[in-house]
């Protein structure tokens, strides 16, 4: 299971492109509202999405991957969710795969020290916040259990990298070709 966490102000393309393409690849994906009392989450462009689960319902202990989309103030809202940050810490400590795009690699993973000694990318200009990382200007970077990407324009590449990690390069190529990317 893959969990994509949503907070008010999330970047819709960065969250929903991975959901869509991973599901096309046959991966079970759950969208998760960080709010324990509601599934409706409003994106940065005022698109309201009904998440599959609330954070209280997500069984992250058995997840294969967790995804943190960017967007403002979505990234800040994710960072301020103590329960989610506890999940990210526990997941990372056990070597679980964490993926973040746009501002999330810098503002969340960087601020938590999870990028130390790793190659990583993020939204241009936020590289100084990726504490301890070696900034790389590529659309997507995977280093160990961390995958990072630059922004909404790299969402398809980000999603295909996640498919490659979970299902192999052939499946990623198949999905990329099927969506004419």
Q: Of these residues, 102, 122, 160, 167, which one is catalytic?
A: 102
What is the pairing mode between strands 97-101 and 65-68?
A: parallel
Phi first, then psi, for residue 152 (nearest 5°) are -60, -30
Please tell me the distance from the alpha carbon of residue 43 to that of residue 7, in angstroms, as a whole number.
Answer: 8
Annotation says 102 is catalytic:
yes
How high is the pLDDT of residue 181?
83
b vs e for 104-113, b when ≥16 Cβ sit within 10 Å of the residue's Cβ?
Answer: bbbbbbbebe
- Largest distance between two CA atoms of the chain: 40
How high is the pLDDT of residue 7?
98
Domains of the chain, CATH where assigned: 2-178 (3.40.50.880)
How high is the pLDDT of residue 121?
98
How high is the pLDDT of residue 109?
98
Nearest to 71 by CA among 79, 60, 63: 79
Q: Are 32 and 53 in contact (CB under 8 A)?
A: yes
pLDDT tens, residue by residue, 2-53 = 999 999 999 999 999 999 999 999 999 999 999 999 999 999 999 999 999 9
How high is the pLDDT of residue 124?
98
Nearest-5° Cα angle at 111, 164 to 29: 35
Placement of tokens 């990210």 in the chain: 88
Residues of the chain with pLDDT under 50: none
Q: Cis omega before residue 5 (within 30°)?
A: no
pTM: 0.98
């Amino acid at each position: 299971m893959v969990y994509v966490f949503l907070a008010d102000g999330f970047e819709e393309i960065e969250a929903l492109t991975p959901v869509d393409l991973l599901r096309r690849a046959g991966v079970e994906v759950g969208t998760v509202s960080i709010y324990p009392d509601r599934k409706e989450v409003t994106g940065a462009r005022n698109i309201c999405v009904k998440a599959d689960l609330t954070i209280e319902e997500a069984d992250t202990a058995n997840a294969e991957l967790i995804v943190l989309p960017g967007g403002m103030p979505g990234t800040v809202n994710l960072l301020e969710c103590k329960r989610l940050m506890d999940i990210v810490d526990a997941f990372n400590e056990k070597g679980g795969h964490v993926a973040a795009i746009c501002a999330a690699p810098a503002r969340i993973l960087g601020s938590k020290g999870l990028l130390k000694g790793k190659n990583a990318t993020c939204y241009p200009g936020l590289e100084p916040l990726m504490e301890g990382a070696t900034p790389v200007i590529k659309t997507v970077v995977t280093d160990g259990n961390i995958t990072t990407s630059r922004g909404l324009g790299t969402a398809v590449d980000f999603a295909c990298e996640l498919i490659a990690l979970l299902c192999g390069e052939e499946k990623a190529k198949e999905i990329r070709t099927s969506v004419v990317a």
